[in-house]
Chain A
C-alpha cells in the first residue's frame, strides 16, 4: 500500500469541487436576493440527509491552457442524480438558474433526459425541480444553425404510465420548463416567485405588443382558474414539503402497492357532532373538509387541487393506515355543481387512483352538472362525458357515501358502475336524490295545473311538499335502491371494515394481472 496520493487524485478533486460552484458567488447572491434557494439548497432540503448521489457532475465546459491542463470549468445548468425521500428511492433533476437562467438550450440536454430515462429504466419516482427560462437564441450562435425544437429520446408519456412523476415550478418555467412541470401526476408552484407559461413577457411583448408582468401572465392566480398546476405553496420549503408528502402515499411504480402505515387512530373513533354535520335547512352549507377530518385517519389528508374546480375536493389520505383516494363535494363552491374544472380534477384524480392502486371513497353531495348560459358556453357537458369514461375504466375498489344531494348527472358520475363494478354505496339520512330536483321538476311537470289554480304559488308548494315526502332515502332503501341508510357517526367504523376488503382486491388484482 502506497501512502503517496495517486496522480489522478488532484484532478478528480478539482473537477468535483468545480462542479459544485454553480454560477459563481455573484449569481448565487442574486438568486438569494430574489428570495430563492439555489438548486443545490433545494436538493438538500428535499432529500434525506446525505442521500443524494449526483450523476453527471463532471458535465460542463472545461477551459484549458496551451499544454492541455484544465484552467477553468463551468458546470452544466442541469443537476441530476438519485436520492431518498422518506427513505424511498427517487430520481431527481434540478435546473440551476444561476447558470444562464437555467436555460434548456444552454445545457447538455442528454443530461436531464438521462434522469428521465433512468427513472423509467429503474422504475423509480421522478422529481423535477424546474427553474428554466426555456430556449435561448444564443444557441444559434453556438450551433451556427437552427434546429427543430424537439427531444425525441425523452420518454415523457411512458414515464407517466409507469412511475410517479412530480413537477415543481421553482421559478420561471417557460416552454419546455412548463411542460416539465405539467407532464406529471402532481404539480406544485411557489406563489409569487414562480411562473408557468408557454413563453414569458418578452416573447409576448413581441407577439402582441402588450406589456404584462410575469405573474399576471403565468403566476399562481392564473393557474388557480385553469387548473393547470394543481397545488400552490407559500414558499419554496412548503413546495418541497408538499412533494415529500405526496410521494409518501405513492408506490415506487405501478407494479408495486402504495405503502400501508401504522396508525394510532382507532377505527372506532366517533365524533358525535357528525350527527348534525349536514344542516337540516337545505339552503345552508357546511364545511366538507371538517367532515373528512372526522372520518379519515387524523392528520392524514393531503389535498390536491385546492383552488380550482372547488366544487369537487380530492385528497390522498389514510383509513386505518391504508392509503385511499378521497373525493367530496363542496356546496360552498357553485352549490357543489360539476363544472368543467371540477370534472377535469375528478377525472385526473380517478386516473391517479386507478393507476397507483388507491381504493376510493366518494362523499357525494352534488346537485348535478352546472347549468345556465355560461355552463353551456363553456361546454361543461364534455367534462362530464370525459369523467364518465374515466370512471368506467377505473378498477379501484370504490365506495360512495351519499351525504346530501345526488341529482341528475351526479347519479351517473359518482363512481364506476360498468364491467361488473359493484357500485357499493351508503347514504346518510340527510340524502336526497332523483333525476331532477323537486323544485324545478314540479314546475316542469305540473305547469298547467299550477297556472290554472286559484293560488298558483300555494298549489306549487303543495305539490312540492307531496314529492318531498316521497323523496325520503328510507323509501329507496325499502326497494334496495341503497345498501343502507347509516348514522353519520358510524361512517368511520364502516369504512374501516370496508378498507380491509378493498385492500384484498388491490393486492390480489396486482398478483393476477401484472400491468
Chain B
C-alpha cells in the first residue's frame, strides 16, 4: 500500500488533533484541525486508508505545503 503525504493547505497553528495513528479513515475525514484565518480549518484525508504518522503536535505552527500526516492508502 503506497504512503501518502498529507499536506496542509494553509498557514496556521495546529488547534486539535482529531485522529490517531492506526486509525482507519475514509476520504474527506478530518485528521486534524488548524486554526487559520481565525477559523477552524480541517486537514482532511485525501483518500481512504490508515493514519501512519502524525508529524505535528497541538499548538505547532505550520505553513502551507507542510506535511502534517502520513497515511497508508488503501
Beta-carbon contacts under 8 Å, A63-96 to B: none
Stretch of B17-25, B34-42, B50-58 on the interface side: B34-42
| Complexed CA–CA distance, A336 and B39 (Å) | 10
Chain B residues lying within 8 Å of A375, measured Cβ to Cβ, are 11, 64
Q: What separation, in Å, do the CA atoms of A162 and B39 have in the docked complex? A: 43
B63:A335 contact, CB within 8 angstroms: no
Is B37's CB under 8 angstroms from A334's CB?
Answer: yes
List CB contacts (< 8 Å) of A363-414 with chain B: 367, 370-375
Partner of A331, one of B11, B41, B64: B41
Contact A374 B38 (CB under 8 A): no
Does A337 lie at the interface of the complex (its beta carbon under 8 Å from any beta carbon of B)? yes
Chain A residue at minimum C-beta to C-beta distance from B64: A374
A284 to B33, CA, bound (A): 11
A367 touches B37 (CB 8 A): yes
Contact A374 B63 (CB under 8 A): yes
A211 sits at the interface (CB 8 A) = no
**A337 in contact with B10 given A374-B64, A374-B65, A375-B64 (CB within 8 Å):** yes
Which of B10, B38, B44 is close to A334, meaning CB atoms less than 8 Å apart? B10
Let me know if B11 and A374 touch, CB within 8 A: yes
Q: Which of A282, A283, A332, A373 contacts B63 (CB 8 A)?
A: A373
B9 within 8 A of A: yes
* B63→A372 contact, CB < 8 A: yes
Contacts of A282 in B (CB 8 A): 38-39
- Interface residue count on the A side (C-beta < 8 Å): 21
Whether the pair B41, A332 counts as a contact (CB closer than 8 A) is yes
Nearest-Cβ distance from residue A14 to partner chain B, whole angstroms? 50
Residue of B nearest to A331 (CB): B39
Q: Does A285 contact B (CB under 8 A)?
A: yes
Tally the A-B contacts, defined by beta carbons under 8 Å: 55
Residues on the A chain within 8 Å of B64, using CB: 334, 370, 372, 374-375
The closest CB in chain B to the CB of A366 belongs to B37
Asked if A272 is an interface residue, CB under 8 A from chain B, the answer is: no
A54 within 8 A of B: no
Contact check: which of A283, A370, A373, A437 meets B10 at CB < 8 Å? A370
Contacting residue for B39 out of A285, A310, A371, A372, CB 8 A: A285
For B65, the chain A residues whose CB sits under 8 A away are 374
User: A374-B64, A374-B65, A375-B64 given as contacts; is B38 within 8 A of A285 (CB)?
Assistant: no
In the complex, what distance in Å separates the CA atom of A336 from the CA atom of B9? 11
Contact with B9, one of A333, A371, A372 (Cβ below 8 angstroms): A333
Q: Mark B1-18, 1 if CB is under 8 A from A, else 0.
A: 000000001110000000
A285–B35 Cα gap in the complex (Å)? Answer: 12
Residues of B within 8 A of A (CB): 9-11, 35-42, 44, 63-65
Query: Could you write out 16 A-B pairs with CB less than 8 Å apart?
Result: A282-B38, A282-B39, A331-B41, A334-B36, A334-B41, A334-B64, A335-B10, A335-B36, A337-B37, A367-B37, A367-B38, A367-B39, A370-B64, A371-B11, A375-B64, A439-B38
A-B complex: 4 closest residue pairs judged by Cβ atoms? A335-B37, A334-B10, A372-B11, A374-B64
In the complex, besides A332-B41, A370-B64, A372-B11, 18 extra interface pairs with C-beta distance below 8 angstroms are A282-B38, A283-B38, A285-B40, A285-B42, A332-B42, A333-B9, A333-B10, A334-B10, A334-B36, A334-B64, A335-B10, A335-B38, A335-B39, A367-B38, A367-B39, A370-B10, A374-B64, A439-B38
